[in-house]
Amino acid sequence: MQKNVQGFTLIEIMVVVVIISIMVGVVTLSFPDTNRDLLKEDAERFSSLVLLAEDEAILQSRDLALAINDEGYAFFSRENKKWQAFSKTPFKPRKLSGLEKPELYLEGVSIQLTKAEKTKPQIVIYSSGEVTPFTYSFGYEGKSKVTLTVDGGGNVKKEFKFEEKQ
């Protein structure tokens, strides 16, 4: 005589719960947690790209430039006496979605940021390693923001200000 068994054993249910928990953990860790994490990532990327552009300018013995606009930033190289935007990684144009009131200061003077398609380079990265000194501030939703200051020698200083929305 054989009994007709229906349902799952406790072990089978526990294995499924563990697998689902691991999958949820992996998915959760792969996304930025908050605007704070996104701000830190974008600030790190920007400062790393500026330092990389300095190295590239020195190694290639040619001037590069940086244009900051109301949506993000782009790097340029001088081709036939004109600035041409890079279109490939790592210097491709970057759009910072959700940007709130970005500010650019050149030698302490506020620069009006224009639409992306009208932007011309404001900052020159010379083949000698020197950089036009500037301060770039940006943030996302809320009052959190980062201020990046680059001196004439190309040193980058980052200052974060985090204020969570109430």
Structural domain includes residue 106: yes
Structural domain includes residue 157: yes
Q: Would you state the pLDDT for residue 112?
A: 87
Structural domain includes residue 18: no
The residue type found at 45 is R
Please tell me the distance from the alpha carbon of residue 117 to that of residue 97, in angstroms, as a whole number: 16
Length of the chain: 166
Q: Would you state the pLDDT for residue 135?
A: 93
Structural domain includes residue 24: no
Please identify every stretch of the chain with a pLDDT value under 70, giving residue numbers as ranges: 1-3, 5, 30-34, 116, 142, 163-166
Q: Would you state the pLDDT for residue 166?
A: 45
Q: Would you state the pLDDT for residue 75?
A: 93
**Structural domain for 101, as ranges:** 35-161
The enclosing domain of 57 has a CATH number of 3.55.40.10
Q: In angstroms, what CA-CA distances link 133 with 42, 76, 108, 119, 121?
A: 20, 17, 9, 18, 13
Q: Taking Cα atoms as reference points, which of 110, 128, 118, 13 lies closest to residue 67? A: 118
Please tell me the distance from the alpha carbon of residue 35 to that of residue 56, in angstroms, as a whole number: 31
Structural domain includes residue 7: no
Structural domain includes residue 22: no
Tokens 């994490």 appear where? 37
Q: Would you state the pLDDT for residue 64?
A: 93
Structural domain includes residue 81: yes
Structural domain includes residue 60: yes
Q: What angle do CA 57, 79, 109 make, to 5 degrees?
A: 65
- Contact assessment for residue 134 and residue 105, using Cβ atoms and an 8 Å cutoff: yes
Q: Would you state the pLDDT for residue 131?
A: 92
In 10 A of CB 134, how many CB atoms? Answer: 21
Q: What is the count of structural domains for the chain?
A: 1
Q: Taking Cα atoms as reference points, which of 30, 38, 32, 29 lies closest to residue 142? A: 38
Model confidence, pTM? 0.73
Q: Would you state the pLDDT for residue 26?
A: 82
